Chain A
Amino acid sequence: MPKTKDQIVEQIKGKIEGFKPKAVEENVGSVLQVGDGIARVSGLSEAMSSEMIRFETSKGESVYGVILNLEEDEVGAIVLGDSSLIKEGDRVVREDRILEIPVGEDVVGRVLNPMGEPIDGKGKISSKKTSPIEKIAPGVIERASVSSPLQTGIKAIDSMVPIGRGQRELIIGDRQLGKTAIAIDTIINQKGENIKCIYVAIGQKESKIAGIVSKLEDHGAMDYTTVIVAGASDPASTIFIAPYAGCAIAEYFLDKGEDVLIIYDDLSKHAVSYREISLLLRRPPGREAYPGDVFYLHSRLLERACKLNDDYGGGSITALPIIETQAGDVSAYIPTNVISITDGQIYLDGQLFYKGNRPAIDAGNSVSRVGGDAQLKIVKKVAGKMRLEAAQYRELAAFTQFGSDIDQETKEKLDRGERLVEILKQDQYSPLDVSCQVLIFYALINGYLDDVEVKDLKEFEKGLYEFAENNASETLTQIKKKAELDEEMGENIKKVLENYKETRV
């Protein structure tokens, strides 16, 4: 703060002296047509694809747009902002850069729109650093294979479809089966794991987003989470850029060598908004009226999720895209596309859901193509057997549905399977630590649960975790730290289970 008026005058003078007027030739155009969030502009002979343009409206306000089509005499652009301000004949100026959004540490804990402007009423983003929303994904040289796990805290996922840091795992299923719930639980479980989370809401109802944000706040998850919102009432252009904007923020942390989890909820709506834009721009429609490059739309986005090798900082972006199917039809255009791009999928099944198996993860149809390598050894050992038991149970259950007389061995397998299904049930917003997961899985495969009634399992489980935390916290930390199932560890776990069972008698 300057003290005297001379200082103030001096300061202003200095600024004026530093000012060098310069005239730069600009490439301009004029609006031919505007409507439906699309503008057609003449002129702009030097325009480049996906370049940013500025509409100089008659009210003096500037509205920004992005060029998508370069045609013979005109360009087609999407308008990011209020297109009603733009009139025919308004001047359009090239910005000479690709659309950028602000990135930095202070976006964490905030709710932003896809242009990077805060919409949570907590003040401006002060970060001066910006990053282009479209970037080419890291190449072969920069990458490493997925090697460390990302714990979702959901028993059914961590055991049977494990996710590694840098993986892309699709969550797919009909509406109202808990796709978002899995994503939110995963975010909540990253507390203290030193992972930045980004939740991109694409074309979601604003009320749902508000609910999610408040739930994240309740669980203290907003401390490491950024929410990008393109609501259902936003124009298609805004919805279209939302996942790329989220990814740009993720890449900021990636470049710093941090681990990031990003959730795209959901890419079906993203494809629909891109279809809308494409049809308005008169691009030829293809299957299901989607344009020809709808595969590239998602592949270029999901390829940006990666695990970098140590020479490039060793950071990772784990992507959990969500796809909503119609009546369980996974062979529609967009679901098959995204299934083929990702490294596996978590398939949610309606019948399981209505039977009360929640999360309704269909273990038969869900796979993780790379997560197995990243799983902790101890989890891998106990869960490997579980996977086998689950598969056998499914087969037997279908087979024995009609017959009543079954031999002893089959009956044992069925009983085990019933218990397995029961312990995979989990309430929403209650992710479970990996050490507790190991305890219960170990108990299952070694027959410690065989004498517990199925209806008592839930209560048994709850008691077990409490008991372990109070009386055997050392074993729990060891499971996580050592992460290997040797004899000593096995003995320790056995002891915990036996001690606990004694207290229950």
Chain B
Amino acid sequence: MKFKSKQYAEALYELLEFAPEEKTSEVLEKFVETMFENGDFGKMDEILEIFGKEWDRKEGVVGAKIVTAYEISEEAVEVLREYIISRTGASRVDVRNEIDEEILGGAIVEYEDKVLDASLKKDIKELKELIVS
């Protein structure tokens, strides 16, 4: 029987969830062995990626990307972090800050499959559309 990458990832998570701490390496070993036997080792990358997402989802971790035109202060990040927590109910938000001068000012917040575009570049574009039309 063939298993999908998602099924592998979910199985791995459940195994680790219920296994005691010291058995972790044993579980992993057996997991890899089973994958070999099933001839699915090539799916490893995909499985790990899905496993990572599954882990985050179950643990209430949300990854976020904040794009700004220049470095922003820790307080500003904190405000955005609060915003994401209020929207998703996550217990932890891993924030990654990226600098992109193209957006001129403001910020673009990306998390899960949501995007909050509050950049100056977008405002100017909208203003242009308002004046030209």
Contacts and interface: CB of A to CB of B under 8 A. Distances in A.
A192 to B, nearest CB: 40
A141 B123 CA distance: 48
A42 B122 CA distance: 24
Interface string B105-123: 0000000111111100011
B131 A23 contact: no
B130 A15 contact: yes
Contact of B131 (A12, A21, A28): A12
Given A21-B123, A23-B118, A29 B130 contact: no
B126 interface: yes
A12 B132 CA distance: 10
A26 B115 contact: yes
Interface string B81-100: 00000010000000000000
Given A19-B126, A21-B126, A26 B131 contact: no
A21 B116 CA distance: 13
B79 interface: no
B1 interface: no
A21 to B, nearest CB: 4
Nearest to A29: B113
Interface string A1-35: 00000000000100110110101111111000000
Contact of B114 (A26, A42, A73): A26
Given A21-B126, A23-B118, A45 B112 contact: yes
Contacts of B113: 27-29, 42-45
B117 A23 contact: yes
Contacts of B76: none
A341 to B, nearest CB: 40
Contacts of B118: 23
Interface residues of A, number: 18
Contacts of A25: 87, 114-116
Contacts of B122: 23
A448 B117 CA distance: 82
A104 to B, nearest CB: 19
Contacts of B131: 12, 15-16
A257 B116 CA distance: 45
A466 B126 CA distance: 66
A23 B118 CA distance: 5
Nearest to B117: A23
Contact of B116 (A16, A23, A42): A23
Given A12-B131, A45-B112, A26 B117 contact: yes
B105 to A, nearest CB: 11
B128 to A, nearest CB: 10
Interface string B6-31: 10000000000000000000000000
A24 B116 CA distance: 6
Nearest to B116: A25
Nearest to A73: B6
Interface string A466-501: 000000000000000000000000000000000000
Contacts of B126: 19, 21
Which one of A15, A23, A24, A29 has the greatest number of beta carbons of chain B within 10 Å?
A: A23
A346 to B, nearest CB: 49
A12 B128 CA distance: 11
A19 B127 contact: yes
B14 to A, nearest CB: 18
Contacts of A73: 6
A504 to B, nearest CB: 70
Contact of B127 (A16, A23, A28): A16
A25 B117 CA distance: 7
Nearest to B120: A21
B130 A28 contact: no
Nearest to B127: A19
Interface of B: 6, 87, 112-118, 122-123, 126-127, 130-131
Given A16-B127, A27-B113, 19 more contacts: A12-B131, A15-B130, A16-B131, A18-B130, A19-B127, A21-B126, A23-B118, A24-B116, A24-B117, A25-B87, A25-B114, A25-B115, A26-B114, A26-B115, A26-B116, A27-B114, A28-B113, A43-B113, A45-B112
Interface of A: 12, 15-16, 18-19, 21, 23-29, 42-45, 73
Per CB-CB distance, the 8 closest pairs between chain A and chain B, nearest first, are A43-B113, A23-B118, A21-B123, A25-B116, A26-B115, A28-B115, A19-B127, A15-B131
30 contacts: A15-B130, A16-B127, A16-B131, A18-B130, A19-B126, A19-B127, A19-B130, A21-B123, A21-B126, A23-B116, A23-B117, A23-B118, A23-B122, A24-B116, A24-B117, A25-B114, A25-B115, A25-B116, A26-B114, A26-B115, A27-B113, A27-B114, A28-B115, A29-B113, A42-B113, A43-B113, A44-B113, A45-B112, A45-B113, A73-B6
